[in-house]
Amino acid sequence: MKKYLLSAFTIAILGLTQANAQQGFSLSVKATPQFSFLQNEDDSDAPGLDKKATFNVNFGIGGAYNFTNKLGVGLDVLYSLQGQRYETDGTEYNQKVNYLKIPVFFSYTSNPSKVVAFTGKIGPQLSILTDSKITDKDGDDIVGDTKNRYEDITFGGIVAAGIQIKLDKNLFLTTLARFDYDFTNAEDDSHPIYPAGRANTYNMTTGLEVGLKYLLK
């Protein structure tokens, strides 16, 4: 009987250890090739103004804490190159707006003990404007500084979903489709360049986040 009890206890301990393998702190590095947009209803309806696909990237680091095997919370610090390319009267230009983004999120992973598992995250995001300018299609400056046309800080949210691949005991590769959207106006509507009654402008990005996560023990 003692042997059976000892065996059962050992199996239970091993199972608990495996179940809790993902609990604790983790650090990550990540980058997201992304399409960015400055969404504005007035610009969309303006004759002769043609918005172009705008490809950029964000990159940065993250920290997270899993309080159960599947659930956790985290925070990223990302530098995001974004904005919107336009063409009007045959001339193409790019309104660039770069941000330091700080998303705070809840995360879920379906079964971290498997080699491949579903993972996702959702939460609010703070964006701090770091640079803004208008360039031509070759990247040369047309207006070297347009930061005063935009708000210093915007608020929004992020959602991402994809897979986690276990590379080693504590090392994971993550690949997620990522989407973020601001809920507040990106433009400073008090600036004289904007007409009265202009619709709000909202930042939006969508891309593929690829990262390496290391679980601290």
Is the residue at 19 inside a domain?
no
Q: Which domain holds residue 180?
A: 24-215
Q: With helix as H, strand as E and coil as C, how does 111-152 read?
A: CCCCCEEEEEEEEEEEEEEEEEEEEECCCCEEECCCHHHECC
Report the CATH number at residue 76. Answer: 2.40.160.20
Is the residue at 160 inside a domain?
yes
Is the residue at 18 inside a domain?
no
pLDDT tens for 118-136 read 999 999 999 999 999 999 9
Count of domains in the chain? 1
pLDDT tens for 47-99 read 888 999 999 999 999 999 999 989 999 999 999 999 999 998 889 999 999 99
Is the residue at 5 inside a domain?
no
pLDDT tens for 21-53 read 568 999 999 999 999 999 999 998 888 889 999
| CA gap 92, 145 in Å, rounded | 18
Is the residue at 12 inside a domain?
no
| CA gap 87, 64 in Å, rounded | 42
